[in-house]
């Protein structure tokens, strides 16, 4: 992915800074690198889509962070609730196209801005923090019949889904999910080629913060251990959450997982595609 000049300069700045810290302490440099890994890109202001102007505004607290979001109720409710989870450096508004079709089918729709995104509090996010936000939303507003997650939202949704009670009676939709956290870490260190001693501290920090090793944060792991129906939509040209991580799952032929593989939509256009939205709705309404 080609970077702009300002982005290249920013990478050089962070690389030089982390290398300098690493000369004193590999652990401290790794901690700073992890903070950077968990910090979303600055977002520009977005105009409120019309459908969000009709929503009921919600807010709650998760891990001392104020989380803000939206709820829509269907005119002819089917009694089921859907939670939509946006991706890294994204926001709730990006999923405006899903609201009306879901409401038409009778679903109540919930979308929250993740920690450190949109109108919600926080400066950093990781899969565990996002997962815990989903679980808190479930306590307050659930039960959610279906979770729809894109990118990091897909991973966080999957991690939360396996902890939900009676999850075999629910449905999980994954759109270009962050399949393997180890891949994201490897890509991060390709961008910032730091000393191996600093890299070695990364999994130690993750275990200390979350209580789990890196392989735990895997969408692939989750779908192999749940029996609920799963719809997984991924593009062969995805350079953010690479398709190569999905291939082993395709060979497993998991009976509960339906795959839709596209070619040419990439990581972000895939959830905006009308055919993707239609496939998601059809999956959720099919018994």
Q: Tell me, what DSSP letter sits at residue 255?
A: T
Confidence of residue 1 (pLDDT cuts 50, 70, 90): very low
**Bigger pLDDT: 265 or 10?**
265
Give the per-residue pLDDT at 5. 55
Same domain assignment for residues 66 and 172: yes
Residues 102 and 190 in one domain: no
Q: Is residue 77 pLDDT above 70, yes or no?
A: yes
- Residues 124 and 20 grouped into a single domain: no
Question: Pick the residue with more confidence: 230 or 17?
Answer: 230
Spatial distance between the Cα atoms of 147 and 115, rounded to a whole number of angstroms: 17
Domain that holds residue 13: 1-37+184-212
For residues 102 and 132, membership in a common domain is answered with: yes
**Greater model confidence, 47 or 140:** 140
Instruction: Output the pTM of the full model.
Output: 0.94
Last residue of a domain, one of 169, 192, 212: 212
Does 274 lie in the same domain as 258? Answer: yes
Q: Note the pLDDT tens digit of each residue in 168-178.
A: 999 999 999 99
133 and 173 fall within a common domain: yes
Q: Residue 62: pLDDT above 70?
A: yes
Sequence-distant (6+) residues with CB within 8 A of 224 are 249, 252, 254
Q: 14 and 88, same structural domain?
A: no
Residue 245 has pLDDT above 70, yes or no: yes
129-154 average pLDDT score: 98
Q: What is the pLDDT of residue 244?
A: 97
236 versus 20: the higher-pLDDT residue is 236
Share of the chain above pLDDT 90, in %: 84
Query: Is residue 45 one of the residues assigned to a domain?
Result: no
- Quick one: pLDDT band at residue 22, thresholds 50, 70, 90? confident
- E runs forming strands in 86-183: 108-112, 146-150, 171-175
Identify whether residues 280 and 167 lie together within a single domain: yes
Distance spanning both ends of the chain, measured CA to CA: 40
Taking Cα atoms as reference points, which of 118, 116, 141 lies closest to residue 49? 118
Strands of 230-235's sheet in order across = 56-62, 65-72, 108-112, 81-85, 146-150, 171-175, 230-235, 257-262
Please count the structural domains in the chain.
Answer: 2
CATH number, domain of 134, equals 3.40.50.1820
Domain annotation covers residue 279 = yes
Do both 94 and 231 map to the same domain? yes
| Residue 30 resides in a domain | yes
Whether residues 80 and 100 fall in one domain: yes
User: What is the rounded average pLDDT of the residues 192-217?
Assistant: 93
Tell me: pLDDT of 13 over 70. yes
């Amino acid at each position: 992915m080609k970077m702009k000049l300002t982005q290249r300069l920013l990478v050089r700045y962070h690389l030089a800074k982390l290398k300098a810290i690493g000369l004193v302490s590999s652990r401290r440099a790794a901690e700073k690198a992890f903070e950077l890994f968990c910090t979303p890109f600055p977002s520009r202001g977005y105009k409120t889509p019309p459908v969000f102007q009709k929503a009921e505004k919600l807010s709650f607290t998760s891990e001392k962070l104020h989380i803000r979001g939206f709820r829509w109720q269907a005119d002819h409710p089917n009694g089921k609730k859907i939670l939509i989870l946006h991706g890294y450096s994204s926001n709730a508004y990006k999923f405006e196209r899903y609201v009306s079709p879901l409401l038409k089918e009778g679903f109540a729709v919930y979308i929250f801005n993740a920690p450190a995104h949109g109108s919600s509090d926080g400066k950093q996010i990781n899969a565990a923090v996002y997962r815990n936000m989903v679980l808190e939303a479930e306590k307050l507003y659930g039960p959610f019949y279906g979770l729809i997650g894109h990118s990091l939202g897909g991973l966080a949704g999957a991690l939360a889904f396996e902890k939900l009670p009676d999850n075999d009676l629910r449905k999980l939709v994954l759109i270009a999910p962050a399949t393997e956290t180890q891949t994201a870490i490897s890509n991060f260190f390709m961008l910032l080629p730091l000393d191996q001693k600093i890299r070695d501290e990364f999994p130690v920090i993750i275990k200390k913060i979350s209580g789990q090793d890196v392989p735990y944060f895997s969408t692939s792991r989750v779908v192999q251990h749940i029996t609920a129906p799963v719809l997984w939509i991924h593009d062969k040209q995805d350079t953010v959450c690479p398709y190569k991580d999905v291939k082993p799952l395709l060979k497993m032929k998991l009976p509960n997982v339906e795959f839709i593989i596209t070619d040419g939509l990439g990581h972000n256009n895939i959830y905006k595609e009308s055919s993707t939205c239609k496939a998601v709705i059809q999956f959720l309404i099919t018994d």
